[in-house]
Amino acid sequence: MTKELDFDAVVIGAGLTGLYQTYRLREMGYSVLGVEGSDDIGGVWHHNRYPGARVDSESEVYGYFWNEELMQEWNWSERFAAQPEVLEYIHRAADIMDIHKDYIFNARVKKAVFDDENNYWTLEFEQQYRAPVTARFVFSALGPLSAPQMPNVPGINTFKGESFHTANWPRDPNGFGPAALDFSDKRVAVIGVGSTGVQVIQEMAKVAKNLTVFLRSPNWCTPLGNGPMTQERMDYIKSNYHEFIAKCDASIAGYTHEFIPKNLFDVPKEERDAKLEELYKGPGFSLWLGAYQDVLSDPVANKYVSEFVAQKIRERVEDPRTAELLIPKDHGFGMKRVPLETDYYEVYNQDNVSLVDLNTTPITRITPDGIQTTDTLHEFDVIIYATGFDAVKGSWNRIDIRGTDGVALKDAWADGVTTYMGMQCPGFPNFFLLVGPQSGATFCNIPRCSALAVDWLSEMMAHAKETDIQRIEPEPDAAESYTLYCTKLMGKLLLGQTNSWFTGINKNIEGRDKREVLLFVGGNPRFREYCEDVTRNDYKGYVMS
């Protein structure tokens, strides 16, 4: 006798991706439940409310392109929208989808177990008052950057001042932004200088009495190019949305930036220098994703651009010693995610800002009064941990996910992730990943590329519905060959040679010191082609029954 299931599908996560997946499944006639660990929708935009949080993507290419009504009604106020506006946008999109009613909140999945005989999943929640839920299919839209990671230093809980991880920032109880906190009489520390650290540092420098930045590995940062969005520009965007969509679809990372189809040294010096200058001043990822085609793959071209950006840092930071500390020496430009900034380097010229080089004087512990380094005790009222995430795999590893034969996903991934299309893992039937390891969306403008994954999976689910399919899983060989493909693509880029969250390295987590291929870096068009090819060939690589 077939077991009566609670739902056809469960979607885990109420960020941009999960909301859209839930909507698509509902519209296709599936009974679907969305479950969200937090108390509201928004995903990373709900949690990361630190001062300075904003998109590094041009506002008009960040969001739901599939919803014409929303695109035509929404007016962005800045060229790169700040967190409260993005969260407000997501709420408006949710209203249009009427999606709240499909979700339960404060429902954090603790365990997911597959019934191999009857082809369904049982999900258990951390909240003990919640009964387990059964569903044929599970869509995990957990977020690649949703598992905040604290540093592995002792004494964190002993600090007697206030401390926050940037991804758990206190919220304004009545609005979309952060709580109103006053730092004007506070000695503030920030640990970490990734994209988050850079954003929070440039804001805290304006408001804190003193700001001390604890720097371990500097990054190559370039100007964001933010400014108000004029009505004229917004009107232009609205009447040209289809062009924007086509441009994003054709670009490597889902932006309107495109690499120049020439090698750097094929261009005369004067011309190339003028171009780099223009790109440096250009908006968003102009220099990272819009320079000469070989900058991210040829070490010599890369060195040239790195030296160009290093020179900018030297020009902008008055103290030469500080400038040198802020110039990366262990990797070239663009080999890690490039943080975008607004007057970030000038912050270090301010009297209220100081820099501690952790390579000379590492942190030994957090004490009740502040941060103890090998050199001295730095006393603070506030410590801000901009120390990043257990990225990509972390959100999945924090759930006990058991596939066929009771195998844990975490164990299956322990020696390196293997997926098919970044959408499924062998041994985990009916369990889909969205924006997880090796997904085409993880090294991409996420709303752009996650929509591609959602649309593709939804098409597959339409096929499953038509043909009454109860079980979908990838062939191990197909997954192995896809993973090999990801490895090959990564091998072509210099970023595969760097230690960062792109390559699975996390110095705060034991055992995460070996590089692995967590990203599909082949670009948006190539990923789309791959997906279309699988569909055209009767879902090759999948076993459906």
Cβ(415)–Cβ(534) under 8 Å? no
Contact between 507 and ligand N01 per CB under 6 A: yes
| Rounded-to-integer distance, Cα 200 and Cα 344, Å | 10
Q: Which helix (H) or strand (E) holds 9?
A: strand 7-12
Contact between 325 and ligand N01 per CB under 6 A: no
By CB under 6 A, the residues from 439 to 468 that bind ligand N01 are: none
| Rounded-to-integer distance, Cα 499 and Cα 330, Å | 9
Smallest CA-to-CA distance from 229 within 446, 61, 42, 346 is with 61
Q: Which amino acid, residue 292?
A: Y
Which of the stretches 26-34, 147-155, 264-272, 370-378 binds ligand N01 when contact is defined by CB under 6 A? 147-155
Contact between 197 and ligand N01 per CB under 6 A: yes
- Cα–Cα distances (Å) from 329 to 216, 220, 360, 514, in that order, read 12, 10, 15, 21
Contact between 195 and ligand N01 per CB under 6 A: yes
x-marked contacts with ligand N01 along 382-421 as a string, rule CB under 6 A: ----xxxx--------------------------------
| Closer residue to ligand N01, CB minimum distance, 137 or 255 | 255
Contact between 59 and ligand N01 per CB under 6 A: no
x-marked contacts with ligand N01 along 217-256 as a string, rule CB under 6 A: x---------------------------------------
Per-position DSSP letters for 257-305, written without gaps between them: ---BSS-GGGS-HHHHHHHHHHHHHSSTTHHHHHSBTTTTT-HHHHHHH
By CB under 6 A, the residues from 152 to 181 that bind ligand N01 are: 152-153
Q: Which amino acid, residue 64?
A: Y
Contact between 193 and ligand N01 per CB under 6 A: yes
Contact between 145 and ligand N01 per CB under 6 A: yes
Q: Whole-number minimum distance, CB 71 to ligand N01, in Å? A: 20
Place of tokens 């941990």: 385
- What six digits make up the tokens of 406? 């009771």
Helix, strand, or coil here: 152?
Answer: coil
Smallest CA-to-CA distance from 491 within 305, 260, 297, 263 is with 297
Out of 42, 51, 63, 192, the residue judged to bind ligand N01 by CB under 6 A: 192
Helix, strand, or coil here: 112?
Answer: strand
Which of the stretches 14-22, 280-288, 368-376, 500-508 binds ligand N01 when contact is defined by CB under 6 A? 500-508
| Rounded-to-integer distance, Cα 173 and Cα 293, Å | 46
Out of 8, 36, 56, 516, the residue judged to bind ligand N01 by CB under 6 A: 56
Contact between 337 and ligand N01 per CB under 6 A: yes
Out of 151, 177, 429, 522, the residue judged to bind ligand N01 by CB under 6 A: 151
**Residues binding ligand N01 (CB under 6 A):** 55-56, 145, 151-153, 191-197, 199, 214, 216-217, 337, 358, 363, 386-389, 501, 507-508
